[in-house]
Amino acid sequence: MGSSIRMVESKKNRAEPEALGGLVQATLARLGIGTRVARAQVIADWPELVGPHIADVARPVRIRGSTLFVAVESAAWRNELSLMRPQLMRKINAGRSEGRIERILFLQDDGGNAEARDGAGER
């Protein structure tokens, strides 16, 4: 009987598996859009970041640069949230090293057509 030769692939030749999240983050960074994607996550995470009570009366509508635009259902809530801006900024940016929000602009939501009317200013 002839001898049988088995080919065994060495583990050294195999690439180690990487977590998909790490690959995605590396690709986003290479494309130069990692910060924008990280900022956009604020919109998806809004209810968890600010809590259900605020999420019921205010919704993020867009991010331009590092400014978050939030539509608010009434002038009274717009004023209240303007006073809460520092606390909201801390909650939104907690644990973020990339994609930090630098400003929040509260917009009066008039039936789905939010326009910039920030009574407290953007200082």
| Domain count across the chain | 1
Give pLDDT, residue 122.
42
pLDDT band at 118 (very low <50, low <70, confident <90, very high): very low
pLDDT band at 111 (very low <50, low <70, confident <90, very high): low
DSSP H or E segment with residue 21? helix 20-31
Q: What is the CATH number of the domain that holds 47?
A: 3.30.300
CB atoms within 10 A of CB 105: 18
Residue 14 included in any domain: no
Residue 23 included in any domain: no
Residue 101 included in any domain: yes
Residue 82 included in any domain: yes
Residue 54 included in any domain: yes
Residue 16 included in any domain: no
Give pLDDT, residue 123.
39
* pLDDT, averaged across the chain: 80
Residue 41 CA to residue 60 CA, distance in Å, equals: 11
Q: Which of 77-81, 83-87, 105-109 has the lowest mean pLDDT?
A: 105-109
C-alpha angle with apex 26: 22 to 29, nearest 5 degrees? 140
Region 80-91: what's the mean pLDDT? 96
Taking only the tens place, the pLDDT of each residue in 17-55 is 667 767 766 776 676 677 888 888 999 999 999 999 999
Provide the residue range defining the domain that includes 110. 42-123
Region 107-121: what's the mean pLDDT? 60
